[in-house]
Structure formats: structure tokens, C-alpha cells
Amino acid sequence: MTTLAFDPSADPNLVRRRKIQNVAAASLGRRKVYSRIAIGICWVSLALAIVPLVAVIAYVVAKGLPAWNIDFFTQSTTPEGIPGGGVWNAIVGTVEIGVIATAVTVPIGLLCGLFLAESDGRIAESVRFTADVMTGMPSITIGIFGYIAIVRNTGGYSALAGAFAIGFIMLPVIMRAGETAIRGVPHQLSEAALALGARRATIARRVVVPAAMPGIITGVLLAVARGLGETAPLLLTIFGNQYLKWNPTKPIEALPLAIYNNSSQPYADLIQIAWGAALLLMVVVLVLSIGSRVLATVLQRERR
């Protein structure tokens, strides 16, 4: 019985594969060099981005940490030339504005995000385009809008006007983050709920939104961090106040406004308070930004 020998050169697939392997082997050294160059450029770019950030954080910590004491966190701002005082009134105003803006903006933003995730028509495209435009809009423009819409019509500056302006800054961030998180929910979950006879409103409330909660929480915290750090809208809406005020319909102080006003004064004690307030605001923003990502990671692990 004669056995026919297999000739690899007769198989066109093997010939093509061998040619590809030869070409890859011939360019392996060059590709390794290009890979090292690309990785080096990435590391240099990372250093260029991180070094200024670390330098700014270190400088603010060095300047602002000496201002931190009990009076700084428990006393209101004192008049010019009088030593002592703190930013308790600004802390209260910042929290008040943030709470009001968040309480109003989050439900509206999540409803809009759910609508954008479930719709692809012209109305959804228009809303999506509007959110993108609002995201890139200068904050001073939003401050002018808040001044015209609230301050002039109500006859005075107030925390409500500041929350209105900050809410406009937070709203597109929450909308787009909510849309992205809801779109990331597997369609099998909605289809399974539909197969069981659930209504779409029930599916959205009990299936889709809970599954997208890690991304939604991340977007909300990032929006709050961005809103609390804005200064221009508050300049035109809350006016500022050296005294502690809890009434949201009256002029009120906030950390960004306290930093802006005190840093331009010729008094060393007020400048020191401005550095301390800048450090406090930076810590709050960093905690919200980092905490949002950590919380999202923990929630995702728990759901798995």
C-alpha cells in the first residue's frame, strides 16, 4: 500500500500563513522600537499632566494649611483689619447651594437621561445637542442668565439664584452620565422583565435604574464637584455676605466667592483665609471626584 506524502507547499493557506509569519518576523525589531518610543511618549505626556497638578496641590496645601484651626471652621468672616475669623458662613452657604441645586437637578437630569437612552428620534437628538452645548458654555454666561432670570425678577440676590445657576452647570453632566449608564445596562434585563409582563415604567424604576446606579452616582458626584467649584455664576447671583445666613432667599456667602473676595484684599489675615478656603474647596472637590470612582467600583463589585 503506497502512502502519499503531504506537501505543505501545495496548501495555499499554509503558504499565505508562512509569508505573513516571515513578514512579521522581519519587522519585529522595528515594531519593538516603535512600541518603546510610543510608550515613552505616553509616560512623558503623563508626567507633563501630573507634575503641574501635583505642584498646584502642594502649593495650595503649603499656603492654606496654616490657616486651618478651630476658628477657621467655626467662625464667620471678620471685617477687614480685624484678626481672627473663619469661613463657617461660606461653608454653610456652599452646602446650602449645593443641596438645593442637587435636589432639583438630579431628578430632572435622570429623567432626561432615561429619555435619551430610550429614544433616538429628532427630539432626543435635539435634547442631546442642547446638553452638549450647555456643557461647553462659559460659566459667566450662565451667571448672567441666572442674574437676568432670577435676581432681576425677584429683586435681590439669594442662595436660590445661586443654586439655579449652579444647577444649570450640573444638569448636562447628569443627563449625559445618566444616559451613558442606562445605555450600558444589558437589554436582556429589560426583555426579561417585559416577558414577565412588567410595564415600561416599572422596568425603568426597578430594573434599569438600579442596574445603572454605579454610573449614575458617579455622574452626580462629578456634577456636584464641578458645580461647587464655580465662581463666576455666584458673583452675579448670591452677592456674598460676611454674616451667617440660613435663609435661602437672602444674599449668602460661598467658598468660591470668599476665595475671590479675600484674595484681592491688602490684608494678610484675609489672604490667609483665602488660601485656607482654597485648600478646603480643593479637598472637597478631590474627595468627590475620587470618591465617585471608588464608590462606583464598589457598587459594581457588589452587583456581580
CB within 8 Å of 81: residues ≥ 6 apart? 267
> pLDDT tens across 191-215, in order?
888 888 878 778 887 888 888 888 8
pLDDT at 9 over 60: no
Query: What are the Cα distances from residue 108, in Å, to 105, 170, 173, 262?
Result: 5, 11, 12, 35
> pLDDT tens across 10-36, in order?
567 777 777 777 777 777 788 888 889
> pLDDT tens across 129-155, in order?
888 888 888 888 999 998 998 898 887
- The domain segmentation of the chain, as residue ranges, is 65-303
Query: What are the Cα distances from residue 152, in Å, to 159, 238, 248, 301?
Result: 14, 12, 16, 49
Angle in degrees, 0-180, between the axes of helices 159-183 and 122-135, rounded to the nearest 10: 130
pLDDT at 238 over 70: yes
Residue 277 has a pLDDT of 93
pLDDT at 62 over 90: yes
**Count of residues making up the chain:** 304
> pLDDT tens across 70-97, in order?
888 988 887 776 777 889 999 999 999 9
Q: Report percent pLDDT > 70 for the chain.
A: 95
CB within 8 Å of 132: residues ≥ 6 apart? 172, 176
Q: Is 24 helix (H, G, I), strand (E, B) or coil?
A: helix
Report the pLDDT averaged over residues 258-275: 87
- Give the C-alpha separation, 160 to 146, whole Å: 10
pLDDT at 4 over 70: no
Backbone angles phi, psi at 239, to 5 degrees: 75, -40
Report the pLDDT averaged over residues 54-67: 92
CATH fold of 65-303 reads: MetI-like fold (1.10.3720)
